[in-house]
């Protein structure tokens, strides 16, 4: 499949598909690790998980906007930085809302990539990936809207956010790899 020049982000993204694959694997491993640790340790490590999730999200954004020549490449970075700074400042004591907003932005970004890949008819698991992104979107909204205390339910929702993000990014990277082949 030949990618036209108007889809410049996909042209570079198909070359660098491995970066999103590594991001997905790291997110999946983080979700499994979060599932294993006890709730008491989770309360102590919440800032670390925020940093990991923000880094994973930033990695996905760097992957999708890498090597663009226009000003469009700066906009996702600025949006991401603004989201992190505003939510961190506004919700200093509510780390769940910060992670919910970060994951919401990441799932919206992946949903747009999945829909864009549908145009090339290369996404074999397109329906599954859209469903995964929508479920992740709902879990992100649950983290933002629900005023749950730091307990087991929040931990389980966060585990699903990490794991679904990892699966979705891995599927997208596989399809971009298939697109990069001549």
Q: What angle do CA 165, 137, 109 make, to 5 degrees?
A: 65
The number of distinct structural domains making up the chain is 1
Q: How far is CA 22 from the centre of its chain?
A: 12
Rounded Cα distance between 112 and 116, Å, is 6
Q: Is the pTM here over 0.85, yes or no? A: no
- Residue indicated by tokens 């983290």: 143
Parent domain of 103? 5-180
From first to last of the 182 residues of the chain, give the pLDDT tens digit. Answer: 444 545 545 555 566 677 778 778 888 888 888 788 876 777 677 667 766 766 666 666 666 555 454 445 556 666 666 666 665 555 555 667 777 777 787 788 888 778 777 776 655 667 788 888 888 888 888 877 776 555 667 778 888 888 888 888 888 888 877 777 76
């Amino acid at each position: 499949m030949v990618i036209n020049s108007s889809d410049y982000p996909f042209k570079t993204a198909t070359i660098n598909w491995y970066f999103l694959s590594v991001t997905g694997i790291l997110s999946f491993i983080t979700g499994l690790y979060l599932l294993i640790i006890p709730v008491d340790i989770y309360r102590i490590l919440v800032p670390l998980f925020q940093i990991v999730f923000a880094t994973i999200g930033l990695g996905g954004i760097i992957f999708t906007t890498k090597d663009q020549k226009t000003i469009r490449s700066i906009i996702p970075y600025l949006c991401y930085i603004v989201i992190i700074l505003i939510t961190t400042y506004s919700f200093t004591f509510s780390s769940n809302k910060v992670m919910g907003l970060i994951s919401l932005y990441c799932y919206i970004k992946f949903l747009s990539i999945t829909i864009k890949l549908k145009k090339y008819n290369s996404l074999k698991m397109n329906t599954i990936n859209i469903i995964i992104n929508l479920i992740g979107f709902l879990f992100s909204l649950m983290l933002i809207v629900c005023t749950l205390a730091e307990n087991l339910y929040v931990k389980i929702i966060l585990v699903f956010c990490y794991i679904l993000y990892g699966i979705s990014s891995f599927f997208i990277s596989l399809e971009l790899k298939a697109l990069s082949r001549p």
